[in-house]
């Protein structure tokens, strides 16, 4: 029979254990920090469900072309900022560091994308994405154009911001209705 420390303390030293437990108890988590029991798909529906209609209204108000250009610009700027923060956090900016989350079975990517590596060398990496929760979410809301501008377009700015010698080449996206996304990252001179 195994006895954990708390059980032993409560059995042998009840008064002390009670006092020690109260004195050393970790502060209670705030309700905002508690885990929800939502699926990734429910999280995306919750996060984007009210946001997409807002963006559609803005597109209508500003005009499709102007809105698209503004959203792509904002997405690119956000991509640059995120890449700079990522390289600072990692302390390196080579292709291996860039691809590490995709290779390490990161829980986030594992739940929102289905992909395979088509190429993986020190100079080039290509990923074929066949399922994407962003694409599914925006396409089901008839907002693929907004999804592309807000989510996909920033990828082009992210890669060279992560490493100025890196270029992303992509000719297909699920968001735009293709059969896959073909993310190819190439290290140049």
* Nearest of 135, 125, 115, 131 to residue 187 by alpha carbon: 125
Instruction: Return the half-sphere exposure (C-beta side, CA atoms, 13 A cut-off) of residue 158.
Output: 21
SS3 call for 188: coil
Largest Cα–Cα separation, the chain: 74
Secondary structure, 3-state, 124-186: EEEEEEEEEHHHHHHHHCCCHHHHHHHHHCCHHHHHHHHCCCEEEECCCCCCCCCCCEEEEEE
Whether the CB-CB separation of 183 and 168 falls below 8 Å is answered with: yes
What are the pLDDT digits (tens) for 95-146? 999 998 888 888 888 899 999 999 999 999 999 999 999 999 999 999 999 9
3-state SS, one letter per residue, for 4-70:
CHHHHHHHHCHHHHHHHHHHHCCCCCCHHHCCCCCCHHHHHHHHHHCHHHHHHHHHHHHCHHHHHHH
Provide the whole-model pTM: 0.80
Q: What is the dihedral of CA 45, 131, 174, 166, to 10 degrees?
A: 110
Band of pLDDT at residue 149, cut at 50, 70 and 90: very high
Average pLDDT, the chain: 87
Cα–Cα distance for residue pair 111/136, rounded to 1 Å:
13
Is there a contact between 6 and 18 (Cβ–Cβ < 8 Å)? no
Rounded Cα gap, residues 57 and 61, in angstroms? 6
Q: Report helix, strand or coil for 95.
A: helix
User: Where are the chain's structural domains?
Assistant: 40-187
Q: Class for domain 40-187, per CATH?
A: alpha beta
pLDDT in tens, 71-104: 999 999 999 999 999 999 999 999 999 998 888 8
In sequence order, what are the residues at sequence separation of 6 or more whose Cβ sits closer than 8 angstroms to the Cβ of residue 121? none
| Residue 111 tokens, joined | 């739940």
Question: Which single residue is written with the structure tokens 């990517």?
Answer: 109
């Amino acid at each position: 029979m195994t006895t954990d420390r708390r059980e032993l303390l409560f059995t042998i030293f009840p008064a002390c254990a009670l006092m020690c437990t109260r004195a050393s108890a970790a502060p209670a988590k705030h309700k905002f920090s508690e885990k929800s029991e939502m699926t990734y798909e429910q999280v995306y529906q919750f996060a984007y469900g009210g946001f997409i209609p807002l963006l559609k209204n803005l597109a209508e108000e500003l005009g499709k072309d102007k809105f698209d250009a503004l959203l792509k610009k904002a997405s690119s700027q956000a991509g640059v900022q995120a890449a700079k923060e990522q390289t600072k956090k990692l302390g390196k900016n080579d292709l291996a560091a860039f691809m590490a989350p995709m290779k390490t079975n990161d829980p986030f990517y594992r739940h929102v994308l289905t992909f395979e590596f088509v190429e993986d060398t020190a100079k080039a990496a290509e990923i074929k994405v066949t399922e994407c929760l962003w694409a599914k979410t925006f396409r089901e809301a008839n907002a693929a154009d907004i999804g592309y501008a807000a989510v996909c377009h920033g990828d082009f700015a992210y890669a060279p911001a992560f490493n100025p010698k890196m270029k992303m080449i992509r000719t297909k996206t699920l968001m735009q209705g293709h059969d896959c996304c073909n993310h190819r990252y190439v290290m140049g001179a």
